[in-house]
Chains A and B, each alone.
Chain A
C-alpha cells in the first residue's frame, strides 16, 4: 500500500467547504450568523460539528434546544453516513459551499438515528470496520487485534490523525501473499435514483479464471442499470460519463455522479476504490473545488 500513499492521503484529507445556517423557525434571542467549516469527507457529521452546535446554542435559550440534526434542501442528513457520501449523493452538482440547515427541534424520528454521544458514533464506526473485515478476512485480522488497536483506529479518525489511523488500518488492508486479494471486497453503492438504501453483495476480487476484477466488472455485475456499454458516451443520471470499455482511471464526474461508489475496504468511509495493479481507481476533484470556493472563508 505504500505506493498508494499519496492517494490515501488525498482521500483522508478531502474536505468539503460547508455553510451552516440555523433553521429559520428556531427560536433565538438574537440573530444567528451562519457558520463556515471545512468538513472532512471521511468523518461523520455529529463527530465534527461541536463548534457548530456551540455557535448556535450561544444565541438560543436552553429550553429551546434539544438534539441537533442537519438537513439539506429538506432532506434530513443521516449522521451515520460519511460526510463525503452525503455530499456526493445530495449536493455534488450544486455550487459550493454546501449549505446545510441546522435544527434543534422536531427530530425526524423516521429518517434519522439518534446520536446521544460520541460513543454511539464510535460503536457505529467500529461495527462498519468489523463488517468489512468479516468480508475481507473472515474477521480474523480485526479479532486478532487488541482493544487498544481498535481504540487507536477510532482515535485516529476522531482526531484527524492519518498516521495514527493507518498504523492500524494497514493491517486490515493486507492479505496473504498466496491470495490475490481479500476474500470478498467490502463495498456499498448508493444511488439517488432508487428506493433501496444501498447495494451490498458478495464480490470476489478475482474471477474464477484468475483475472483481477475491475471496478467496471463490479458495477456491471451489481448495478447494471448504471452502465450501458452498448451506447458510446452514455450520459448517466447525474451527468457522469463513463467510457463504455472502462479504460483505466477515467471515471470522470467526481462531482457530478449521482452514482457514488463507496468503497469501504476498512478505511471506513472512503469514496475512492484503492487500486492494486489492475484495479481502477478514481479521485475526487475536491481540491479544485476548495480553491474555487475561496479557501480564506473556511476554517479547518
Chain B
C-alpha cells in the first residue's frame, strides 16, 4: 500500500491519477516519536536509518479548495513542498497554471524546496504533520 502511494507521487505529469484511489494509508508500525513534546537533550543519538523512513502527512483543504478523497499520506522525508504541491495539483486535476499554497500550523508557507521531513520534526504532532492547502493565499 505504501509503495503504491510512493509511486503515485513519483509519476511524471503525463500520467494522471485516475479514480482508483488507494485506501487511507495507515501509519507505519515503526512511527518516529512524536517530535513536538520531545525536547532534544544532549546524548540522544538519532537512528541512522531515520532519513529513509516515511512520515505521515494529513492534508486539509482551506476555503473552497477541493477536498482530497485521500487525506493521509505516507511520504518520504526528502520529498519537497514543491513535490507535494505538484502531487496535490495532479490529484485534484488542477491546471498547471493554477496556484496552490501549502501552510504549516496555519501560519506560514514553507519554501518550495523545503523537505517535509524537517517540517515534520519541527512542527509535527501526534505522529503526523498537518498541512493546509489552498488555491489562494490564506495566511499571507
Contact = CB atoms under 8 A, between A and B. Distances in A.
Report, as a range, how many residues of chain A touch the other chain. Answer: 20 to 34
Interface stretch (B9-17, B21-29, B54-62, B107-115): B107-115
A111 to B, nearest CB: 9
B109 to A, nearest CB: 5
Contact of A127 (B35, B41, B44, B108): B108
Nearest to B123: A134
Nearest to B45: A224
A143 B107 contact: yes
Nearest to A199: B118
Contacts, number: 64
Interface in B84-129: 104-105, 107-115, 118, 121-123
Nearest to A183: B39
Given A134-B104, A134-B123, A203 B40 contact: yes
Interface residues of B, number: 24
Interface in A198-213: 198, 200-204, 207-208
Contacts of A126: 140
Contacts of A65: none
Interface string A117-161: 000000110111011001100010011000000000000000000
Contacts of A208: 39, 41
Contact of A113 (B112, B123, B140): B112
Interface of A: 78, 80, 113, 123-124, 126-128, 130-131, 134-135, 139, 142-143, 184, 196-198, 200-204, 207-208, 217, 220-222
Given A80-B111, A124-B111, A200-B122, 9 more contacts: A123-B109, A127-B109, A139-B107, A142-B107, A184-B122, A202-B35, A202-B39, A202-B40, A202-B122
